[in-house]
A and B are shown apart, each in its own frame.
Chain A
């Protein structure tokens, strides 16, 4: 099936530092990747939609200057949390939309998530 990886799986950082999270589609090309955030016992909240080669589209209330998204290729999107603060501590999950062919067409597969803890 379609596999999406995320790196790192867990990161602990000091307040004020920046953290980069990578999302890769391993066996398919993803024209679109999505970034979600999930707080404990809550559902996934969409942060932004990332299309290869263009600027990301952010959801209302998500600061684009704080959460920098780069979708440099059809298999890689990165989320950088700049000047992280404790309230940014959360579980960040990406998903990648398949282009069809390999598995179920036009659906989304999720990465394993990255747990960010800001001290």
Chain B
């Protein structure tokens, strides 16, 4: 079993929809959680960074962490075609360690 599981999709939604992206993990030591967005042939771009459990909001993006369930989510409100990309969840147990990535979910927002 991989330490981080993420449905690769693809996920297709109409413009304006609320998008929900999720990851589960097995290592209870993970406490730093990140979401990255990656456009084709580009490096990942940090979207959200969360420490431990709870919610964090930044504009149209909301990250949730439920450590008791080992489950993290990223919500995108009022999705736009420019949000079409692959979204990678990542996490580690120590901020100095390398990140453990999910496979990434491919999102397509159609006009």
Contact = CB atoms under 8 A, between A and B. Distances in A.
B43 A6 contact: yes
Contacts of A34: 98-99
Nearest to A1: B46
Interface size band for A:
20 to 34
Contacts of A62: none
Contact of B98 (A4, A6, A49, A109): A49
A115 B98 CA distance: 21
Nearest to A57: B98
A110 B45 contact: yes
Contacts of B43: 4, 6, 93, 110-113
A97 B103 contact: no
A73 interface: no
Interface string B31-66: 010101000011111100100000000000000000
The winner among A104, A109, A110, A112 for most chain B CB atoms within 10 A is A110
A107 B98 contact: no
Contacts of B41: 91, 113, 115
Interface of B: 8, 32, 34, 36, 41-46, 49, 88, 95-96, 98-99, 101-104
Interface of A: 4, 6, 32, 34, 41-44, 46, 49, 91, 93, 95, 97, 104-113, 115
Given A41-B8, A91-B41, 14 more contacts: A32-B96, A34-B98, A43-B88, A43-B104, A44-B44, A44-B88, A93-B44, A104-B49, A106-B32, A108-B34, A108-B46, A110-B44, A110-B45, A110-B46
22 contacts: A43-B103, A43-B104, A44-B44, A44-B101, A46-B98, A46-B99, A93-B43, A95-B99, A97-B95, A97-B96, A104-B46, A106-B32, A106-B95, A107-B46, A107-B49, A107-B95, A110-B36, A110-B43, A110-B44, A113-B41, A113-B42, A115-B41
